[in-house]
């Protein structure tokens, strides 16, 4: 039996295409009110129409924001808090790959800024709403690439030596480390944090700046890739299923618990990344009293 999400509200970043749109559509089909976030209002409205075509009763709200910008993340959070009185699940899905080094308006390397710092900051900005709505869920889309990731604190921004795949791997490991540390800090609050690998999915991923090897191999690889709907199965499961209620600090693939990389379980590494990320986005490390660990209370 499918979960009944009527009366709940879910925000999906990167919700105007690919896995995000499929996730939003699936959750709308379960009865949830959906907020989708994208860079283009035009694409956002088209995505909302596509959801309503498949789910005529869907309640869909469109939020326009470029999440590589910290000001835009904060503006989005303000709009979400003004629109919703509750938030039952936040699906941090937005992400990207760039073969060459690009800088954001904040002067940060785009892969790290969008894939890691955006969900880190958005979760922080919406945490009060999630806590007030508990039980609530934070679901973050990572990748199997996290297994190859390494957090290089000496060159987080790829200033000395940039490689697109290395930057992507690092950002996806950061997603897992963030989730595990968030879960520890939220223990006992009613808000859970999970992270997932959606599989290799047939989307427009990397199309802006994919590099020669990806342009060459992708047409062949696409034949073996999952559809966006198949890739969305795990984020939908984690945002909705009673089976995972209360589960936190866990990595999933194919709707099942999996072990992530050895580095992802390093508590000291996770805490250091949290501290560095907090400084890069300009927030206090523990702005909410519920985030204190049991040992500190």
Active-site entry in 168, 180, 251, 265: 168
Q: Is 218 left (phi over 0), alpha (psi -120 to 50) or beta?
A: alpha
Q: Is 211 left (phi over 0), alpha (psi -120 to 50) or beta?
A: left
Active site residue 168: yes
Which residue matches tokens 């808000």? 191
User: Are residues 12 and 24 in contact, defined by beta-carbon separation less than 8 angstroms?
Assistant: yes
**Nearest to 136, CA basis, from 184, 88, 92:** 88
Question: Which string of DSSP letters, residue by residue, matches 75-89?
Answer: HHHHHHHHH-S--SE
Residue 256, burial from CB neighbour count under 10 angstroms (0-12, 13-18, 19+):
exposed
Residue 23, burial from CB neighbour count under 10 angstroms (0-12, 13-18, 19+):
buried
> Which residues does the annotation mark as catalytic?
168
């Amino acid at each position: 039996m499918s979960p009944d999400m009527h009366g709940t509200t879910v925000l999906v970043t990167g919700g105007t295409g690919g896995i995000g749109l499929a996730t939003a559509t699936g959750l709308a089909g379960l009865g949830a009110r959906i907020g989708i976030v994208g860079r283009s209002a035009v694409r956002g409205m088209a995505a909302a129409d596509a959801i309503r075509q498949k789910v005529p009763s869907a309640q869909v709200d469109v939020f326009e924001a470029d999440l590589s910008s910290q000001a835009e993340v904060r503006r989005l959070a303000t709009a979400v808090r003004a629109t919703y009185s509750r938030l039952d699940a936040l699906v941090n899905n937005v992400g990207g790959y760039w073969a060459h080094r690009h800088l954001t308006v904040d002067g940060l390397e785009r892969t790290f800024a969008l894939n890691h710092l955006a969900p880190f900051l958005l979760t922080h900005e919406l945490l009060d709403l999630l806590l007030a709505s508990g039980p609530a869920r934070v679901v973050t889309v990572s990748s199997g690439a996290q297994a190859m990731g390494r957090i290089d604190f000496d060159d987080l921004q790829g200033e000395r030596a940039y490689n697109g795949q290395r930057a992507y791997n690092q950002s996806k490991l950061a997603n897992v480390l963030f989730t595990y540390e968030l879960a520890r800090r939220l223990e006992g609050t009613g808000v859970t944090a999970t992270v997932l690998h959606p599989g290799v999915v047939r989307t427009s991923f990397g199309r802006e700046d994919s590099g020669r090897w990806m342009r060459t191999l992708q047409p062949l690889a696409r034949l073996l890739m999952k559809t966006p709907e198949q890739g969305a199965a795990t984020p939908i499961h984690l945002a909705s299923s009673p089976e995972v209620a209360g589960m936190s600090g866990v990595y999933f693939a194919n709707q099942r618990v999996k072990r992530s990389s050895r580095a992802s379980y390093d508590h000291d590494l996770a805490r250091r990344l949290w501290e560095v990320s907090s400084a890069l986005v300009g927030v206090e490390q523990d702005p909410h009293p519920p985030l204190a660990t049991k040992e500190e209370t």
